[in-house]
Amino acid sequence: MSTYQDFLRLLDQKKICPIYLFLGTNENLISESINKLKHHIFHGSDFPSLNINIFEEKNYRLSEIINTCESLPFSSPKRLVIIKNFSSFSSKEQKEFAEYLKSIPTYLHLLLYENTINNNNIVYKQAQKNGLIIYLYSPLDSQMVNYIKEFSLKNNLRFTHTAIAYIIKSIGHNFDSLIKELEKYLLYFDKNKVIDKDDLTFITSSFHEESIFELLEVIFARNLKSSLSIFRSLIIKGEPHLKIFFMITKQLRLLYQLKTLNLENSYSQQILEKLNIKSKKQVSSLLSQAKNYTIIELKNLYKNSINIDIQLKTKSNLFYSLILEMFIVDLCQIQ
């Protein structure tokens, strides 16, 4: 059984297994691990969501999963299938699934995850034989310290003991938050700089995260590559998924109102009053973005946003990034 650090180390070495089994209850760590795996499998792909399939309910059929696994990927050499709660399969299905794991297609990567499972489970044994089992748990102080030191050595950063203690005290025992914090420091500090507690307390208040408004600009300019890049950057820096979704739908609603009220040729002051907004700069952005969409497209996208809202409220937060990436793809695609 391997740790989260082992998992990251193998990914950095570009060693990607055909089968992964994640065990644990740390949802933040599981979500981060899934996103890391997706990034390495689909690095450079503009449409990763088209080749990612998720089965997280307990009522799916094994035949449906295998049919999905046997489907060739679209415009990509790889397909990722994520399966939660495979332990809910009947004994017969588990035997059939374990048999399938012995020889999966070369284009396929399977990610299974459970809170816990018996070591004698037939699927567990086959996953252990043909893949990698990762134990995802909340770390102890010593493990946090070791990870910070490994990260520092790899990226040429030098934290003092007081800085390391400050980091752990600030974020608690959460690897997800730790990784985001350390990646933020990479953007801010020069290599080989000795970083003390005072440096960290200063940037906590002065560090400016990438703007959601910049994300809105590229989304509604239908620039998919930049949209996905900025979105992923915002998530790494800790911007809440639901806040991003709220801002996107708010802008979508304003664009739809602009079109339906036939305001595109109106004066800025009229638009400010009709749409109840206060910034002339926002009016300028809306007018520019409105040229990229028809009223029918905006109507359909707004209806789709309602479905996305339902998914975000009913699905596990492990899949928030994937759900929003698929929504961004829809917003940017030319109909």
Q: How confident is the model at residue 43 (pLDDT cuts 50, 70, 90)?
A: confident
Say whether both 232 and 309 belong to one domain.
yes
User: Average per-residue pLDDT in the chain?
Assistant: 84
Residue 279: its pLDDT value, please?
A: 65
Q: What is the CATH number of the domain that holds 304?
A: 1.20.272.10
Assess whether 202 and 226 both reside in one domain. Answer: no
Last residue of a domain, one of 109, 136, 163: 136
For 231-255, what is each residue's pLDDT tens digit?
A: 888 887 777 889 899 999 989 988 8
Mean pLDDT within 181-189:
76
Q: Are residues 27 and 128 in the same domain?
A: yes
DSSP, collapsed to helix, strand or coil, labels residue 157 as coil
- SS3 for 204? helix
| Cβ atoms of 284 and 291 closer than 8 Å | no
Note the pLDDT tens digit of each residue in 294-312: 999 999 999 999 999 998 9
14 with 130, same domain: the answer is yes
Report pLDDT for 150. Answer: 86
Task: Tell which of 136, 156, 186 closes a domain.
Answer: 136
Say which residues have a Cβ less than 8 Å from residue 60's Cβ, sequence separation at least 6.
none
> Across residues 276-289, what is the average pLDDT?
76
Same domain, 23 and 130: yes
Residues 241 and 308 in one domain: yes
Q: Based on the domain organization, do 127 and 11 belong to the same domain? A: yes
Q: Are residues 81 and 150 in the same domain?
A: no
Question: 41 pLDDT band (50/70/90 cuts)?
Answer: very high
| Confidence (pLDDT) at 143 | 76
Q: Comparing 278 with 99, which gets the higher pLDDT? A: 99
Clarify whether residues 218 and 264 are in a common domain.
yes
| Predicted confidence (pLDDT) at residue 204 exceeds the cutoff of 60 | no
Domain of 56, CATH number, reads: 3.40.50.300
Tell me which residue range forms the domain holding 297.
212-332
- What tokens appear for 28 in the block? 């933040």
pLDDT tens-digit readout, 109-122 = 999 988 888 888 99
> Can you list the positions of beta strands (E) in 169-209?
194-195
DSSP secondary structure, 104-147, as one string = --TTEEEEEEES---TT-HHHHHHHHHSEEEEE-PPPHHHHHHH
Q: How far apart are CA 311 and CA 326, in angstroms?
A: 12
Q: Is the same domain home to 274 and 308?
A: yes
pLDDT of residue 122: 93
pLDDT confidence of residue 330: 92
What DSSP character marks residue 54?
E
Which of 121, 136, 151 is the last residue before a domain boundary? 136
pLDDT score of 209 more than 60: no
Q: How many domains does the structure of the chain reveal?
A: 3
Residues 124 and 226 in one domain: no
Same-domain check for residues 101 and 156: no
